[in-house]
Amino acid sequence: MKKALKIVGIFVLVVLVILIAAPLVFETQIENFVKKTINKNVNAQVEFTDIDLSLFRGFPQATVVLNNVSVINKEPFAGDTLALSEEVLLEMSIKELFKGSEEPKSINEFRLNNAYVNIKVDSLGNANYDIAVEDTTAATATTDTASTGLSFDLEHYEINNSRLKYLDESAKIFLDIEDLNHQGTGDFSLDQSELDTETNALVTFELDSVNYLNRNKIALDAVIQMDLQEMKYSFLENQALINQLPLTFDGFVDINDNNNEVSLTFKTPSSDFKNFLQVIPETYARNIEDVQTSGDFIIDGKVNGAIDEEHIPMMDIKVSSNSASFKYPDLPKAVQDINLDLQVINETGFMDDTYITFDNVTFRIDEDRFAANGSVRNLMENMLINMTVNGSINLANIEQAYPLDMDLDLNGILTADLTTSFDMNSIENEQYQNVNSRGTANIRNFSYKSPEIPKVIQISNAQMNFNQGTVRVPELKLTTGQTDITASGNIENLMGFLFTNQVLKGNFQVNSDTFAVNDFKVAETQETASAEGEAASEEDTPATTGEEAIKIPSFLDTELSFRANRVLYDNLELRNASGTLILRDETATLQNVTTNIFGGSIALNGNVSTKNSTPTFQMDLNLNKLNIAQSFNGMDLLQGLAPIANALEGELQTSLNLRGNLDNNFAPDLSTLAGNALAQILTAEVDPAKMPLLSKLDQQLNFFDLNNINLDNVKTNLTFNEGMVEIEPFNFNVEGVNVQVGGSHGFDMDMNYDVVLDVPARYLGNEVGGALTQLSGENIQNTTVALPINLTGSFGRPQINLNMQQAITNLTQKVAQNQKGKLQQKGIDAVKGILTGKKSQNQETTPQDSTATDSTATPNNSNNTPAPEKQVQEAARNILGGILKNTQKKKDTTN
């Protein structure tokens, strides 16, 4: 007995040693085998971080785990990711490890965990999943090549927590399967067996940009009879759930070399109308378990036929309901008299022959009834739509009967009686002459309220007359806040706007007594995170930022001829505004707009764009006879361009070319302003007390009064860019003194200006005037002094620099030049006297020269000769001192 136990113990020990040591022995062999198999059969870049072999994880099976597997495409999808998987798990019999490297290894179980598969078919029909290496070996070598690699004799497989995306650009099909969990158990080694499957996922499906499923829950439990020799799969026991709508089905799918054949029938196992609510996405139909329903809802369909490049299965799918109703327990109203007769039909197997009919589609809420019928044909190509709509709906009743997840407040009566027929190609190509529409639609007492807009929008009446491809709106009356609008016009492409991605086109004549721009501001929102540093969760909702902005709708392409008695824009009030407004591509273009404001008028042309995050504008304006004081107080732009206008009373006119950014109030951001202006002051009176710069300058200059500035008809050119305003030099007059001004300032009110005063000597007094007469030889009344002044600092705290030295230099040069001219004239006169024997009128007669004339005498040997340069400068200082009251005047002792 002890010997037997000893033998068993040794055997167990040997087995354990083998189980522990086997991975070390076979792991490298398995890794080389996997890489060799991939390289031989796959035309793509396949990588994995590591490979593990375990004999314990699935004992008595051997388990091979590939971690972080990626499949990257080569041309024509070079660089695209075909598949990623966190873990790929293969289970096989231990004996498979002992096979030679050229022998196939049979896989019994396969698991794919946390995978992402991205399948694409481009417009030319190239598929990124077509990565199998083409077999170019001879027919005689087929058996040998087939004998190598992996053999999938599966008994169980799983796909866990994965995602599959499929995009076919040529067929315009998009399929997105999220949260995919699928497993199957069977025996793929047998020619015939049963496969038991379970599937759960969220499915999104679009065909030709039309969404049919949007993250709808799909569940499928199916038992499939597999005939692997004939490649035929028959559905035995099957039940599917779309959201919570149950469907049972049976039939088969036959896959062969020539074509694939499908034969399926399906139906709802019960006819309760609640089945209809259960197919609606849960976002829009919550708590349907408590909904009270009556009537039936039936889906009954069959799909039968071949699938190949030219054919699809023939189908007949019926969806019907009769005299049904539903009522949510927490809502006051019920939806009643629901009838539905919808059918999807294809009788030929050609895709173009698929069509949908819907007859007797009706419902009622209270006394409001609505009905529709029609058809949609040629679904896959140029859709042909015929539809008739008739009825009346109280919009307020919709939210009282159905739980819309929308924070809106809708009211109003919508009435429609119209028929339309058109093809989508005509709509997309804007060939509206091919649209046949007739009838009317009307909305009365409509009101719309949303947190995104500050005011309730109310439409007392809006009539639409459908005729061919256009919609005539004879009258629309709208009010919101202080704004009232009466409009009439045409909508060119209502069908294109409703059924495609076209912008809404039209032209309208708009009249308004009061139009307040602030009534159309939209509250901006931003995403809020659940915690600091964390991303926002699905439960997080956008919150308003507290700021408001005006956005030009992207879906509008309209031309408005407008006239408004009063327009309120920020703090401005414009009167008698008229012109043309074109809304296109999130841009408002203004043409020939005129309005009255500030006692004058404004004419403008330009545009405003909200296409980018920061609004921009470009504008040409002509301002005529505007009251300067009112304009300065009402327009930040004028305050920035001409701060000195604060001290003026009068009228101005100017033409401006402006461009730059706008803030949320649609006011120009002065730091971004660029352009130029030609400004003219028509009439103006100056009040220096209103401007610190003028007050301080008035205190330092005593020879004139700045209250007497004459600015009538003063003109100048301005250019501005990057927050700076450049003023071209201009001249004006103050009590006979010519003043020239030029320089620049910023919108921050810092300035750098040069002012030159041509000061007449007659303002300087007799004493200084006598000294200057002795120096110059002429009356001081004819002499002026150029006094430069530099203005810096800011308009509120100016720095005034009177450049006296330059003024002295200017005066010295003028006097010296004058004296030089006098001496030259005396010499000329003396020569003329000698030649003619006559005394020059400029020659003086003295007792000394009455007896004889010394022709060699010079101007310097007399006490009456011109003063030296130093005397000239001293005289100039005396003059300027008299002007500025800063220099003590000295008595002239030269005579």
**pLDDT tens string 31-71:** 676 777 777 778 888 888 888 877 656 666 778 888 898 98
pLDDT in tens, 210-226: 677 778 889 999 898 98
pLDDT for 833: 57
The residue assigned the tokens 């660029």 is 674
pLDDT for 105: 67
pLDDT for 96: 65
Share of the chain above pLDDT 70, in %: 73
Lowest average pLDDT, out of 55-69, 216-230, 797-811, 844-858, goes to 844-858
Sign of CA dihedral 24, 28, 33, 38: positive
Kindly indicate the confidence band of residue 200, based on its pLDDT and cuts at 50, 70 and 90: very high
pLDDT for 547: 52
Average pLDDT, the chain: 76
pLDDT for 301: 93
C-alpha distances in Å from residue 648, one per residue of 101, 106, 642, 799: 100, 98, 11, 21
Mean pLDDT of 14-20: 44
Mean pLDDT of 118-145: 69
Residue 140 or residue 367, greater confidence: 367
Range among 150-154, 545-549, 840-844 with highest mean pLDDT value: 150-154
Label residues 590-627 b or e (16+ Cβ within 10 Å = b).
beebebebbebbbebbbbbbbeeeebbbbbebebbebb
Separation of alpha carbons 264 and 274, rounded Å: 25
Mean pLDDT of 355-381: 89
Runs of H (alpha helix) within 675-760: 692-700
351: pLDDT strictly greater than 70: yes
Residue 569 or residue 203, greater confidence: 203
533: pLDDT strictly greater than 60: no
182: pLDDT strictly greater than 90: yes
**Token couple for 296:** 């039936």
Kindly indicate the confidence band of residue 750, based on its pLDDT and cuts at 50, 70 and 90: confident
The residue assigned the tokens 């003295």 is 846
CA torsion, ordered 237, 242, 246, 251, to nearest 10 deg: -30
pLDDT for 271: 80
pLDDT for 545: 47
Measuring CA to CA, which residue among 133, 130, 107, 103 is closest to residue 119?
130
The reported pTM is 0.58
Residue 50 or residue 357, greater confidence: 357
Residue 200 or residue 781, greater confidence: 200
pLDDT for 863: 44
pLDDT for 335: 93
pLDDT for 536: 41
765: pLDDT strictly greater than 50: no
Residue 864 or residue 348, greater confidence: 348
pLDDT for 9: 46
pLDDT for 840: 45
Residue 237 or residue 592, greater confidence: 592
700: pLDDT strictly greater than 50: yes
The residue assigned the tokens 């999220």 is 178
Mean pLDDT of 574-589: 89
Residue 262 or residue 260, greater confidence: 262
Mean pLDDT of 487-493: 88
Helix (H) or strand (E) holding 771: helix 766-776
β-partners of residue 725 are 720, 745
Quick one: how far is CA 577 from the chain centroid? 30
pLDDT for 238: 86
Kindly indicate the confidence band of residue 138, based on its pLDDT and cuts at 50, 70 and 90: very low
677: pLDDT strictly greater than 50: yes
CB neighbour list of residue 500: distance below 8 Å, 6 or more residues apart? 424, 427, 428
pLDDT for 332: 92
Kindly indicate the confidence band of residue 334, based on its pLDDT and cuts at 50, 70 and 90: very high
Mean pLDDT of 693-713: 74
687: pLDDT strictly greater than 50: yes
300: pLDDT strictly greater than 90: yes
Residue 825 or residue 310, greater confidence: 310
Kindly indicate the confidence band of residue 889, based on its pLDDT and cuts at 50, 70 and 90: very low
Lowest average pLDDT, out of 151-155, 288-292, 436-440, goes to 151-155
pLDDT for 294: 92
**Token couple for 228:** 């692997």
26: pLDDT strictly greater than 60: no
Quick one: how far is CA 106 from the chain centroid? 56
Separation of alpha carbons 157 and 880, rounded Å: 106
The torsion angles phi and psi of 537, rounded to 5 degrees, stand at -85, 175
pLDDT for 851: 37
pLDDT in tens, 426-452: 877 878 778 888 899 998 888 877 665
